[in-house]
Amino acid sequence: MDYARLFRLDGRVAVVIGAGSGIGRSAARALAAHGAHVVAADLNEAAAGETAALIGQAGGRAEAESVDIGREEDVRRLFAAVGSHHPSLDVVVTTPSINVRKPVLAYTAGDLDRVLAVNLKGTFYVLREAGRRMAEQGRGSIIAFSSIRAQVVEPGQSVYSATKAGTVQLVRALAAELGPRGVRANAIAPGVVDTPLTRPITQNPAWRQAYADRTVLGRWASPDEIAGAVVFLASEAGSYVTGSLLFVDGGWTAVDGRFVPPL
């Protein structure tokens, strides 16, 4: 075992969906820094191109693609394009999510469809297409993004939380089905991360501080602090990890309540 190379990804092809910003951009840059050829895919192709350019400027290899994971045919097109340009598909990371913060009684059918289309159906499309190609070649690592909301909820987070719990179960089922064919599937559950998705919270000082105080570390994460978990699960360092949910949440789910008792 060459322990010094456990995290290296030289010669591997990694597709990162949601690579145009936030956690996806950090994940793409981290995978490239460890040697992967990255396909940076995003609904915003210009943003994906910016990520690919950043990777190139750092000496890595990357290209940009557009994809709307809420559209089944678009996901199929993406993986067909990757297959036509690359001999293998070694890593797939999918990060996109949307959230409509409303009480259950105020949720409309349109709200429900909008969140389900991206968070659950879109994730399913990616897992299915990536799984098909990796099963054929007999290897690969699939990483989907869940959330602490798969385990703990708050008012206004009903459908988002349900989709994140659903993502975990999709990943576990895929891991069980494709493990015998050499494919690993895992999920990552971030806590509070400063990204475009969380901007409505971070722009409210009281709300931002309340969430920071809820963590053991007393602060929010940057997207770069999630990238290490992606590299771990993508690489040989995580070769015996599949069907797992990895929390990267600053201790949020480890503690019970906000009150600190006198000890």
β-sheet bridge partners, residue 62: 38
- Read off the amino acid at residue 158: S
Can 160 be counted among the known catalytic residues? yes
Is the CA virtual torsion 196, 197, 200, 201 positive or negative? negative
CA 96 – CA 184 distance, rounded (Å): 20
Ramachandran region of residue 59, left (φ > 0), alpha (ψ -120 to 50) or beta? left
Q: Which helix (H) or strand (E) holds 45?
A: helix 45-57
Catalytic residue among 107, 125, 160, 211: 160
H/E segment holding residue 110: helix 109-115
Angstrom distance (rounded) from CA 252 to CA 90: 32
Tell me if residue 146 falls in helix, strand or coil: coil
- Label residue 108 exposed, middle or buried (CB < 10 Å: 0-12, 13-18, 19+): exposed
Dist CA 59 CA 34 (whole Å)? 11
Phi, psi of 17 (to 5 degrees): -100, 130
Distance of CA 257 to the CA centre of its chain: 27
- Residues designated catalytic: 160
